[in-house]
């Protein structure tokens, strides 16, 4: 055993430490001279600059006020009941999603058209669709595919091409249905390729056409992203980054607002769109800064009022003062361009009109997700304000979390340890100010670590509901395991050994090497749930797991299960163990082989009966992928399915034994 | 300036990444910390005089320590914070090279300051001179120390393979 061998072996170990190549590319791009970000257009898109994301971020809630609103409510007075990202698209783009009564239709670049609902995430059409709309009666889809427009009959699954482009210079795109299901409105683009590179748009005309019958068409306007407006003889569309309203009877045009991607609500009352606000500042003689911030807005179609929906913020990727100092005196004037932490694309209303789905790109991490925004006439209660705030932190919707804070700090969310659950425990008044008290549960991936932090959030009324002024930690409990196998609980800094390895009944301990790999603690129930990982030993026995509970009061251990194999493969490891608020259920993320056969799956245990449920078996229409727990939302488990490049969120309700989707109403 | 910075980035990204990953043991923190390291380097690039790799790795090293400092509620000295790095099971990061099982075990039992030297020298590919600049030691001291650690590892691996 010489030094040379050790050095060679260290070299081998070095190669085993993976380098995140995606990060390497995306971070590098951020150091190139900032340019205005442009978004690729549908049919003749260049590769979208979207980078795969780390993890999908999801949460679930019930609507406060579903359905149509009876009386006319101005856009400016609509309240936001929730904003939640639940589907991470990864690399590649998704454009123009649509929803009908709980089923979301989602085109994914290069992969086809998918349907997402409580049955799973299923491919329903395998060609390169890039924009889809559901007919108001829910019977048909219209979509654009490589410059042609096609209609998909949802009952017969038959596809009919109604407009044929050539995919080179003629494109039919962005189709949308008339309220009576009889016509579509769409964009005809004529592109002229340049001599050497690039292209010129010769025409971007808005046309309408009858779907059945003689299929005659007529031109209505110049622009893009057209929609009909229910209850009026009018259309709304985008032209030169403005949202236009055209009265078809009088052929008059009005500007609603500056913006892109207009989407008209099913009742014809509101239009949602993405608007950019810009600011410029001079830093010195030869240095200036511009800030462009996108946000989702809604306005009344009748032009009375509008309101900003999202709370985007500037992503300052470098210190502007340091940057300015680094410039040579007397050099050419330079501009440092900051954009928002998020960009928004293609909003669309739910069929019931109470929510908007919008694509949101996280410009910091380079990942695209789909977010649902719910509206209500009522403001959130004190408790719901705190609940939404914590949910937004868990799923990392910083743009929503910030809207609930009076003053937002620079950094809101962190990666590990991560929040795996929360509970509102009380509320009251302190010194005349309202507060809500909540516990947040934290865990480390694949480590025996669990932390409960109790925090008091102080709130005061703002223009659109309560705002969180400040928060104060009230105490914490931390449970960890040390190398010798004992489990230690630390309450507000005071350590106590719950048990040592010697206390665990010998029958529950593996013969060879082992360690406590994951644990979770339920304070009110006085119960610890943990896993003992038996290591692979020299006789090449496969690693396996014991799942146990420990009653802190009676000091009794109980073996719930021993897992030696999964999905037909010997050898099991665990990466996460999280429990619900009531201490009734535990969810485990398990994995089998590393490498190309790597597969993870999720089991939920009823802790009193020991009954277990494999969540994979409950998803009927979903291609096999990796399952992972995300967090417990009270008694419901939010988990994700990673299939191809997407990470899709679902909700498991253990009491009912059913799965729900984020598009269920 | 940007062009030179990018060549620094291209040349050393993998080293910074592996160094940080080996120190924290998880990908999520590593992604955040490596991004921070390069942003700081980008901002301070004008102040760089010589020894770019040592300079960059020193930023990475401080970024990791600052990260653990921020997680602490009370002010703690650097020595105390150093205890938090390398605090995970090496198996998870280094994967399952069975033939290297004994080496991983030997590494796991090294004191943290010795792991730091292994990380800088073998995983981040620093020269003895660069390591000396970062650790505030002479080149000879770094050489002696590295050799001692490698010999110690060789002994542990030997014992492990003999099943002792």
What are the tens digits of pLDDT across the range A344-388?
999 999 999 999 999 998 887 778 899 999 998 888 899 999 999
Which range among A92-96, A564-568, B156-160 shows the weakest confidence by mean pLDDT?
Answer: A92-96
Q: Which helix (H) or strand (E) holds B62?
A: helix B52-71
> Cβ B18–A10 below 8 Å, yes or no?
no
pLDDT tens digits, A416-437: 578 899 999 999 999 889 999 9
> Cβ B150–A3 below 8 Å, yes or no?
yes
pLDDT tens digits, A572-622: 888 899 999 999 999 999 887 655 556 788 999 999 999 999 998 888 877
- Helices B139-161 and B101-108, packing angle to 10 deg: 130
In terms of pLDDT, which residue wins out, A322 or A439?
A439
Contacting residues of B for A12, CB less than 8 Å apart: 97, 100
Residue pair A573/A533 in contact (Cβ under 8 Å)? The answer is yes
Q: Which residue of B has its CA nearest to A446?
A: B92
Maximum Cα–Cα distance across chain B: 56
Q: Which residue of B has its CA nearest to A55?
A: B28
The pair phi, psi for residue A351, each rounded to 5°, is: -60, -25
Token pair recorded at residue A55 = 């993890």
Q: What SS3 state is found at A336?
A: strand
Q: What is the mean pLDDT of residues A473-495?
A: 90
- Residue A412 reports pLDDT greater than 50: yes
Q: What is the mean pLDDT of residues A329-344?
A: 84
Among B60, B29, B72, B82, smallest CA distance to A445 is for: B29
Token pair recorded at residue B15 = 């080293």
> Chain A interface, mutation test: which of B7, B24, B46, B102, most A Cβ atoms within 10 Å?
B46
Contacting residues of B for A409, CB less than 8 Å apart: none
3-state secondary structure chain B: CHHHHHHHHHHHHHHHHHHHHHHHCCHHHHHHHHHHHHHHHHHHHHHCCCCHHHHHHHHHHHHHHHHHHHHCCCCCCHHHHHCCCCCCCHHHHHCCCHHHHHHHHHHHCCCHHHHHHHHHHHHCCCCHHHHHHHHCCCHHHHHHHHHHHHHHHHHHHHHHHCCC
Residue pair A560/A545 in contact (Cβ under 8 Å)? The answer is no
Q: Which helix (H) or strand (E) holds A160?
A: strand A159-163
Distance from CA of B77 to the nearest CA of A (A): 18
- How far apart, in whole angstroms, are the C-alpha atoms of residue B112 and residue B29? 19
Q: Which helix (H) or strand (E) holds B135?
A: helix B128-135
Contacting residues of B for A536, CB less than 8 Å apart: 96
What distance lies between CA A516 and its chain's CA centroid?
Answer: 32
- CA triple A102-A655-A624, angle to 5 deg: 55
- How far apart, in whole angstroms, are the C-alpha atoms of residue A65 and residue A446? 40
> Cβ A17–B94 below 8 Å, yes or no?
yes
Contacting residues of A for B97, CB less than 8 Å apart: 12-13, 16
> Cβ B89–A594 below 8 Å, yes or no?
no
Q: Provide the 8-state DSSP code for A124.
A: E
The pair phi, psi for residue A640, each rounded to 5°, is: -125, 150
Transcribe A168-206 into DSSP letters.
SSEEEEEEEE-TTSSEEEEEEEEEEE-SSS-EEEEEEEE
Contacting residues of B for A455, CB less than 8 Å apart: none
Q: What SS3 state is found at A86?
A: strand
pLDDT tens digits, A34-83: 433 333 333 322 222 222 222 222 222 222 222 333 355 777 778 888 89
The shortest CB-CB distance from A326 to any of B1, B122, B153 is to B1
- Average pLDDT for chain A: 84
> Chain A interface, mutation test: which of B10, B11, B30, most A Cβ atoms within 10 Å?
B30
Distance from CA of B138 to the nearest CA of A (A): 22
The pair phi, psi for residue A601, each rounded to 5°, is: -145, 165
Contacting residues of B for A10, CB less than 8 Å apart: 103, 118, 122-123
> Cβ A14–B122 below 8 Å, yes or no?
yes
- How far apart, in whole angstroms, are the C-alpha atoms of residue A609 and residue A618? 20
> Cβ B31–A20 below 8 Å, yes or no?
yes
> Cβ B46–A325 below 8 Å, yes or no?
yes
CA distances from A562 to A446, A544, A545, A573, A617 (A): 18, 8, 6, 12, 20
- Residue A207 reports pLDDT greater than 70: yes
Contacting residues of A for B118, CB less than 8 Å apart: 10
Q: Which helix (H) or strand (E) holds A356?
A: strand A355-362
- Residue A198 reports pLDDT greater than 80: no
Q: What is the mean pLDDT of residues A139-159?
A: 94
> Cβ B6–A31 below 8 Å, yes or no?
yes
Q: Which helix (H) or strand (E) holds A520?
A: strand A514-522
In terms of pLDDT, which residue wins out, A639 or A539?
A639
Token pair recorded at residue A615 = 């969540």
Chain B from 1 to 30: CB within 8 A of any A CB? 1-2, 5-6, 9-10, 13-14, 17-18, 21-22, 26-30
pTM for this model (two decimals): 0.71
> Cβ A10–B118 below 8 Å, yes or no?
yes
The shortest CB-CB distance from A2 to any of B6, B31, B154 is to B154
Transcribe A410-459 into DSSP letters.
S----SSSEEEEEEEEEEEEETTEEEEEEEEEEE-TTSSEEEEEEEEEEE
* Chain A residues with at least one Cβ partner in B under 8 Å: 1-3, 5-7, 9-14, 16-20, 23-24, 27-28, 31-33, 54, 317-319, 322-323, 325-326, 414-416, 445-447, 515, 536, 538, 594
- Residue A483 reports pLDDT greater than 80: no
> Chain B interface, mutation test: which of A9, A18, A473, A592, most B Cβ atoms within 10 Å?
A9
- Residue A413 reports pLDDT greater than 80: no
Question: Which regions in chain B score pLDDT beneath 50?
Answer: 1-2, 73-75
pLDDT, residue A415, reads 54
Contacting residues of A for B153, CB less than 8 Å apart: 6
pLDDT tens digits, A458-473: 999 887 889 998 888 8
Q: What is the mean pLDDT of residues A548-576?
A: 89
- How far apart, in whole angstroms, are the C-alpha atoms of residue B81 and residue A656? 47
Count of CB pairs separated by less than 8 Å, A with B: 118
pLDDT, residue A664, reads 81
Q: Which residue of A has its CA nearest to B124?
A: A14
Chain B from 82 to 121: CB within 8 A of any A CB? 88-89, 92-97, 100, 103-104, 107, 118
- Residue A316 reports pLDDT greater than 90: no
CA distances from A52 to A89, A91, A363 (A): 8, 4, 12
Residue pair A94/A109 in contact (Cβ under 8 Å)? The answer is yes
- Residue A665 reports pLDDT greater than 70: no
Distance from CA of B91 to the nearest CA of A (A): 11
Half-sphere exposure of B14 (CA within 13 A, CB side): 11
The shortest CB-CB distance from B38 to any of A14, A18, A27 is to A27
> Cβ A1–B1 below 8 Å, yes or no?
no
- How far apart, in whole angstroms, are the C-alpha atoms of residue A208 and residue A217? 5
The pair phi, psi for residue A219, each rounded to 5°, is: -85, 135
Distance from CA of B123 to the nearest CA of A (A): 5
> Cβ A17–B21 below 8 Å, yes or no?
yes
pLDDT category of residue A33 using cuts at 50, 70 and 90: low
pLDDT, residue A416, reads 57
What distance lies between CA A57 and its chain's CA centroid?
Answer: 4
ipTM: 0.89
Distance from CA of B135 to the nearest CA of A (A): 21
Listed in sequence order, the DSSP H helices in A31-108 are: none
Q: Which helix (H) or strand (E) holds A27?
A: helix A21-30
Residues 6+ apart with CB under 8 A from B80: none
């Amino acid at each position: 055993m010489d030094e040379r061998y050790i050095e060679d072996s260290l070299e081998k170990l070095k190669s085993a430490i993976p380098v995140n190549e995606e990060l390497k590319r995306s971070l590098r791009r951020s150091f190139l001279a900032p340019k205005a970000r442009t978004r690729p257009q549908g049919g003749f898109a260049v590769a979208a600059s979207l980078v795969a994301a780390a993890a999908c971020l999801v949460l679930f809630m019930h609507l406060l006020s579903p359905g149509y609103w009876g009386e006319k409510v101005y856009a400016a007075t609509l309240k936001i009941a929730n904003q939640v990202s639940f589907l991470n698209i990864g690399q590649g783009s998704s454009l123009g999603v649509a929803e009908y009564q709980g089923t979301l239709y989602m085109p994914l670049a290069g992969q086809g058209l998918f349907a997402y609902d409580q049955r799973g995430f299923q491919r329903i059409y395998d060609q390169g669709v890039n924009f889809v709309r559901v007919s108001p009666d829910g019977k048909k889809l219209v979509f654009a595919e490589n410059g042609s427009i096609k209609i998909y009959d949802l009952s017969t699954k038959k596809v009919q091409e109604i407009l044929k482009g050539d995919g080179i210079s003629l494109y039919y795109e962005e189709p949308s249905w008339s309220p009576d299901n009889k016509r579509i409105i769409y964009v005809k683009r004529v592109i002229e390729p340049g001599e050497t590179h690039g292209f010129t748009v010769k025409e971007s005309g808005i046309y309408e056409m009858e779907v059945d019958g003689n299929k005659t068409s007529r031109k209505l306007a110049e622009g893009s992203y057209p929609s009909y407006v229910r209850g009026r003889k009018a259309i709304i569309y985008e032209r030169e980054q403005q949202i236009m309203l055209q009265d078809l009877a009088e052929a008059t045009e009005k500007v609603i607002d500056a913006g892109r991607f207009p989407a008209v609500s099913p009742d014809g009352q509101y239009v949602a769109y993405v608007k950019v606000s810009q600011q410029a500042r001079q830093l010195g003689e030869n240095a200036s800064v511009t800030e462009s911030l996108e946000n989702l807005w809604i306005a009344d179609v009748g032009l009375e009022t509008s309101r900003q929906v999202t709370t985007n913020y500037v992503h300052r990727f470098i210190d502007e003062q340091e940057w300015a100092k680094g410039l040579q005196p007397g050099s050419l004037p330079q501009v440092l361009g900051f954009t928002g932490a998020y960009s928004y694309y293609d909003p669309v209303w739910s069929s019931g009109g109470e929510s908007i789905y919008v694509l949101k790109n996280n410009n910091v991490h380079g990942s695209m997700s789909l977010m649902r925004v719910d509206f209500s006439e009522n403001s959130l209660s004190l408790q719901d304000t705190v609940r939404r705030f914590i949910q937004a932190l868990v799923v990392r919707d910083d743009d929503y979390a910030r809207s609930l804070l009076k003053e937002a700090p620079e950094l809101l969310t962190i990666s590990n340890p991560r929040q795996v659950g929360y509970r509102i425990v009380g509320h009251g008044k302190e010194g005349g100010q309202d507060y809500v008290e909540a516990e947040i549960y934290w865990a480390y991936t694949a480590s025996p670590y669990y932390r409960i932090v109790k925090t008091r959030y102080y709130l005061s009324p703002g223009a659109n509901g309560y705002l969180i002024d400040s928060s104060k930690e009230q105490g914490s409990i931390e449970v960890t395991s040390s190398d010798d196998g004992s489990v230690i609980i630390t309450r507000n800094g005071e350590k106590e050994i719950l048990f040592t390895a010697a206390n665990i009944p010998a029958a529950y301990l593996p013969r060879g090497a082992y360690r406590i790999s994951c644990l979770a603690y339920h304070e009110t129930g006085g119960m610890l749930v943990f896993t003992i990982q038996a290591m692979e030993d020299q006789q090449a026995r496969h690693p396996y797991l014991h799942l146990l509970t420990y009653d802190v009061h009676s000091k009794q251990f109980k073996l719930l299960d021993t897992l030696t194999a999964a999905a037909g493969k010997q050898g099991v490891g665990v990466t996460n163990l999280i429990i619900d608020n009531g201490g009734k259920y535990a969810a485990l993320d398990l994995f089998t082989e590393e490498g190309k056969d790597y597969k993870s799956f999720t089991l939920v245990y009823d802790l009193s009966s020991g009954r277990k449920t494999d969540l994979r078996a409950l998803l009927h229409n979903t291609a096999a992928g990796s399952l992972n727990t995300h967090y417990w939302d009270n008694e419901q488990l939010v988990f994700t399915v990673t299939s191809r490049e997407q990470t899709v969120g679902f909700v498991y309700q253990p009491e009912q034994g059913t799965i729900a989707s984020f598009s269920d109403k | 300036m940007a062009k030179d910075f990018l060549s620094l980035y291209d040349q050393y990204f993998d080293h910074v990444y592996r160094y940080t990953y080996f120190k924290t043991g998880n990908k999520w923190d590593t992604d955040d910390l490596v991004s921070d390291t390069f942003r700081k380097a980008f901002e301070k690039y004008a102040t760089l005089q010589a020894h770019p790799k040592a300079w960059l790795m020193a930023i990475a090293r401080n970024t990791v320590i600052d990260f653990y400092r921020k997680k602490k509620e009370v002010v703690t000295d650097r020595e105390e914070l150093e205890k938090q790095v390398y605090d995970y099971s090496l198996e998870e990061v280094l994967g399952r090279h069975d033939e290297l099982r004994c080496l991983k075990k030997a590494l796991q039992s090294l004191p943290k300051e010795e792991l730091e030297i292994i990380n800088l020298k073998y995983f981040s590919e620093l020269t003895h001179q660069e390591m000396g600049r970062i650790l505030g030691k002479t080149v000879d001291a770094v050489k002696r120390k590295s050799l001692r650690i490698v010999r110690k590892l060789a002994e542990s691996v030997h014992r492990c393979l003999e099943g002792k």
